[in-house]
């Protein structure tokens, strides 16, 4: 290296060092505090935006000098999670209050992103109204509470009565075994070859929808499970896993579900809610308790006749074994960022957003299942849509995802397995073996249980 | 060298300091950070999110056992060779060659049509390509009009679709490079060859191509590096599917880093991508070197 060049490099390194050390953050002034609220908003999901706008008004009126800064992220669930995680990585960009999917709570607690709320909740009277089972959704591995549920959901079979009746199937319909589903679907196909009789999502494009609204309803209705809670290990090599894949294969091979190409389109659910069910081109689909929110007045796919035409059934277990049905529950929570400079204020805001008035409005607007006993007893809630009672009953047979930090990888591996089966790339047996291998690679043999 | 002279020489370097600083800060630093991250278990969430540990070559060892990785390397090479080296490069040369002979209005119309795809923002071009190839898209409607049954191209032939889309999008660049290069080929040499009775093909192989050789190498280098980094186009058209059938390295790296939150593993894949770019780059530099005879 020439002398001048060497000097230049030295100069540059010094400058870079100076530049980086000069970037230390400024402390906010105490008198005008700002709370940063990060949440999800999409063109078909604005209930939360409304909730926070109302809460901001109430809160700022009651707390002079504090500004609430709403930062909606416009993205689908997957991308929202990614953007939120990126914001949480550094204390500078971390929000004070955040909207958090229940299945990310544990891993974000592990990461040290969320504030422990126990001491705040003790002093918060409303906490007593929360359903005990649902409180678990916001609990970390240490048993402390880190997030407060906004609502919960269940999943069942949503069927179009007219399509079933055309095929000579009596409504209300309640299949008791997997075979009864196939029988009914074949009848519908025979009566009208142009309809999609019974759709269940599959493939990576539908993401968490593929597991929550399809595969787990099957797997949790067999004698096998995804995760052994006692051993804290992931189950591989189970018969139930292969059976569940085989059921999906039958559904797709016999053209009882949408075509594989349609299933691999990330927007397939929009067609289900917006076109196929309302137009009587689909017999049934496994979907969530929030379905009416798309069809009711002001929803993305308004459909006046949904209350008349649609019905809800429990998803049956494989051979009708106990408890006779399967549902999956997820739901979202609000949490306080661990790096919040004003944690007390942040929790105050969370409490304002989740008070009875705001909770009720949000629960009704987004067709959630109430998690507060006082909201659940409200006539407005019970009359929100004709199916509130049906979907609330499913809570008795519901399961929650094993929300460990490595869960997203497991979920992705399941999605890959379903995709391989419906596209005919692998047989159910091969896809299950590939899943087992993937799981072993991803989480290590120590966390795997051969059944 | 006298002292004064060396000071003056150093002062001459002053004007480049800001740009070198910017380069270091915005280019070299992130690249180095990413390379460093590939030796750790950095993650978006979970225990290693804020305090990643050094794991040595674990991520690279995992690459070797990951079934998705070799397929992804092959797809990346196929994508680059088919859409950049063969597609964009040859088509660009062909169009440029034809344009030098075509009448003004014809070459203006063709040039505009080709450049139009290139000036679109990538996301817009990607959605246009998606709308063209999708099941109810333009292509199938055209085929149906001609009485042929179309196919679900993005599902049945995802790689073909993204390769064609990338050729459509990027050919303009090669065309512009070759137009400039062909315009610099001295007319008298071509005329002399014509006098000596060389055929068109011979003139191309023995006169034109050797004369524009450095442009070819430069162009290959640029389109290769651009194509290696293509992400938006594939993400919008196929999301890397079905069943990873169009998952090139950038798509795989994105999925690992942002879908599964495994930053360490994602950056390891990105490092492989950089190495792949270097391999191509070195090959082209060799090609250029032959010029300095």
pLDDT at A177: 97
In 10 A of CB B74, how many CB atoms? 11
CA closest to B68 among chain A residues? A438
Contacts of A5 in chain B (CB under 8 A): 13
Residues of B in contact with A108 (CB under 8 A): 45
Question: Using an 8 Å Cβ cutoff, are A325 and A314 in contact?
Answer: yes
What is the model's pLDDT at position A21? Answer: 46
Percent of chain B whose predicted confidence (pLDDT) is above 90 = 58
Those residues of chain A that have pLDDT short of 70 are 1-31
Q: For B152, which residue in chain A has the nearest alpha carbon?
A: A261
Taking the C-alpha atoms of residue A290 and residue A421, their distance in angstroms, rounded to an integer, is 28
Q: Distance between CA atoms of A140 and A146, rounded to whole angstroms?
A: 7
Q: What is the dihedral of CA A284, A288, A291, A292, to 10 degrees?
A: 110
Identify the band that residue B1 occupies on the pLDDT scale cut at 50, 70 and 90.
low
Round to whole Å and give the CA distance between A449 and A309: 45
Q: Of A4, A104, A204, which has the smallest distance from its Cβ to B241's Cβ?
A: A204
Q: Do A78 and B259 touch (CB under 8 A)?
A: yes
> What is the least distance, in Å, from the CA of B251 to any CA of chain A?
14
Residues of B in contact with A412 (CB under 8 A): 259-260
Q: How much is the pLDDT for B44?
A: 86
- Is A4 an 8 Å CB contact of chain B? yes
Question: Are the Cβ atoms of B6 and A423 closer than 8 angstroms?
Answer: no
Query: Using the beta-carbon criterion (under 8 Å), do B44 and A82 form an inter-chain contact?
Result: yes
Judge: A425–B243 Cβ closer than 8 Å, yes or no: yes
| A419 in reach of chain B (CB within 8 A) | yes
CB atoms within 10 A of CB A284: 27
Nearest CA in chain B to A260: B155
Burial class (CB in 10 A: 0-12, 13-18, 19+), B112: exposed
Out of B21, B47, B67, name the one closest to residue A15 (CB). Answer: B21
How much is the pLDDT for A44? 76
User: Could you count the other beta carbons within 10 Å of the beta carbon of residue B274?
Assistant: 14
CA distance A262 to B155: 9
pLDDT the model gives residue B272: 94
pLDDT value at residue A57: 95
Q: Which of A111, A434, A441 sits opposite B65 (nearest CB)?
A: A441
A329 touches chain B (CB under 8 A): no
Contacts of A437 in chain B (CB under 8 A): 67
> How would DSSP label each residue in A237-265?
S-HHHHHHHHHHHHHHHTT-S--HHHHTS
Among chain B residues, the shortest Cα distance to A434 is held by B67
With beta carbons less than 8 A apart as the criterion, state whether A52 and A353 touch: yes
**pTM of the predicted model, to two decimals?**
0.80
Q: What is the pLDDT of residues B13-71, one digit of tens each?
A: 889 999 999 999 998 999 999 999 999 998 888 778 888 889 999 999 989 988 789 99
Q: What is the pLDDT of residue A1?
A: 47
Contacts with A80 from chain B: Cβ below 8 Å: none
CA distance to A80, A280, B58, B167, B251, per residue, from B35 (Å): 26, 54, 14, 31, 18
Q: Report phi then psi at A123, rounded to 5.
A: -90, 0
CA angle A239, A242, A243 (to 5 degrees): 80
Give the whole-angstrom CA distance, residue A83 versus residue B259: 10
A266 touches chain B (CB under 8 A): yes
To the nearest whole angstrom, how far is the Cα of A295 from the nearest Cα of chain B?
A: 26
């Amino acid at each position: 290296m020439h002398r001048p060049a060497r000097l230049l490099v030295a100069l540059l390194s010094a400058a870079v060092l100076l530049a980086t050390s000069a970037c230390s953050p400024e402390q906010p002034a105490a008198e005008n505090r700002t709370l940063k609220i990060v949440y999800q908003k999409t063109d078909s999901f604005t209930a939360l935006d409304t909730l926070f706008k109302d809460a901001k008004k109430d809160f700022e009126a009651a707390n002079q000098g504090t500004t609430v800064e709403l930062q909606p992220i416009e993205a689908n669930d997957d991308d929202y999670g990614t953007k939120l995680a990126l914001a949480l990585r550094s204390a500078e960009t971390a929000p004070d209050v955040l909207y958090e999917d229940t299945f990310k709570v544990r891993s974000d607690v592990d990461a040290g992103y969320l504030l422990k709320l126990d001491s705040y909740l003790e002093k918060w009277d409303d906490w007593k109204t929360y359903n005990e089972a649902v409180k678990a959704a916001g609990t970390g591995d240490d048993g402390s509470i880190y997030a407060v549920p906004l609502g919960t959901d269940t999943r069942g079979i949503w069927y179009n009565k007219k399509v079933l009746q055309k095929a000579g199937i009596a409504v209300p319909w309640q299949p008791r075994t997997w075979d009864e589903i196939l029988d009914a679907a074949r009848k519908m196909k025979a009566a009208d070859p142009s309809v999609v009789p019974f759709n269940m999502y599959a493939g990576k494009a539908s993401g968490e929808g593929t597991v929550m609204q399809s595969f787990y309803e099957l797997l949790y209705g067999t004698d096998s499970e995804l995760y052994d809670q006692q051993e804290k290990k992931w189950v591989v090599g189970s018969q139930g896993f292969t059976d569940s894949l085989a059921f999906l294969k039958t559904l797709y091979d016999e053209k009882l579900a949408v075509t594989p190409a349609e299933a691999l389109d990330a927007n397939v659910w929009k067609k289900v809610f917006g076109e196929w069910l309302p137009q009587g081109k689909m017999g049934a689909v496994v979907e969530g308790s929030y379905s009416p929110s798309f069809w009711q007045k002001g929803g993305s796919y308004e459909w006046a006749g949904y209350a008349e035409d649609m019905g809800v059934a429990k998803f049956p277990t494989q051979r009708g074994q106990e408890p006779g049905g399967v549902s999956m529950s997820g739901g979202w929570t609000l949490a306080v960022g661990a790096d919040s400079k004003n944690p007390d204020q942040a929790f105050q805001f969370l409490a304002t957003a989740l008070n009875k008035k705001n909770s009720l409005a949000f629960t009704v607007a987004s067709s959630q299942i109430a998690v507060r006993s006082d909201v659940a007893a409200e006539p407005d809630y019970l009359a929100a849509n004709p199916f509130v009672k049906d979907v609330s009953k499913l809570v008795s047979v519901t399961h929650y995802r094993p929300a460990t930090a490595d869960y997203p990888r497991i979920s992705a591996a399941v999605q890959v397995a379903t995709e391989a089966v419906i596209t005919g790339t692998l047989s159910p047996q091969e896809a299950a073996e590939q899943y087992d291998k993937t799981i072993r690679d991803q989480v290590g043999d120590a966390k795997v249980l051969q059944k | 060298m006298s002292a004064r002279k060396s000071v003056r020489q150093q002062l001459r370097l002053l004007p480049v300091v800001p740009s070198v600083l910017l380069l270091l800060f915005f280019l070299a630093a992130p690249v180095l950070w990413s390379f460093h991250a590939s030796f750790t278990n950095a993650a978006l969430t979970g225990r290693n999110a804020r305090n990643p540990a050094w794991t040595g070559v674990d991520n690279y060892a995992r690459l070797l056992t990951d079934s998705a990785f070799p397929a992804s390397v092959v797809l990346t090479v196929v994508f680059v060779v088919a859409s950049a080296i063969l597609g964009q490069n040859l088509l660009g040369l062909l169009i440029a060659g034809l344009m030098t002979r075509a009448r003004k209005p014809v070459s203006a119309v063709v040039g505009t049509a080709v450049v139009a795809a290139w000036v679109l923002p990538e996301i817009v071009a990607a959605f246009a390509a998606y709308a063209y190839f999708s099941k109810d898209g333009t292509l199938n409607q055209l085929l149906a009009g001609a009485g042929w049954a179309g196919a679900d191209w993005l599902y049945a032939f995802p790689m073909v679709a993204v390769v064609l889309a990338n050729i459509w999008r990027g050919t303009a660049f090669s065309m512009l490079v070759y137009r400039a290069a062909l315009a610099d080929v001295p007319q008298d040499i071509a005329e002399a060859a014509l006098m000596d009775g060389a055929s068109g093909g011979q003139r191309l192989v023995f006169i034109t191509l050797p004369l524009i050789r450095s442009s070819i190498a430069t162009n290959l280098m640029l389109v290769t590096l651009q194509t290696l980094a293509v992400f938006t186009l594939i993400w919008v058209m196929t999301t890397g599917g079905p069943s990873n059938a169009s998952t090139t390295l950038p798509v795989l790296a994105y999925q690992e880093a942002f879908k599964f939150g495994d930053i360490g593993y994602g950056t390891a894949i990105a490092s492989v991508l950089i190495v792949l770019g270097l391999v191509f780059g070195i090959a082209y530099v060799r090609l250029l070197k032959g010029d300095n005879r």
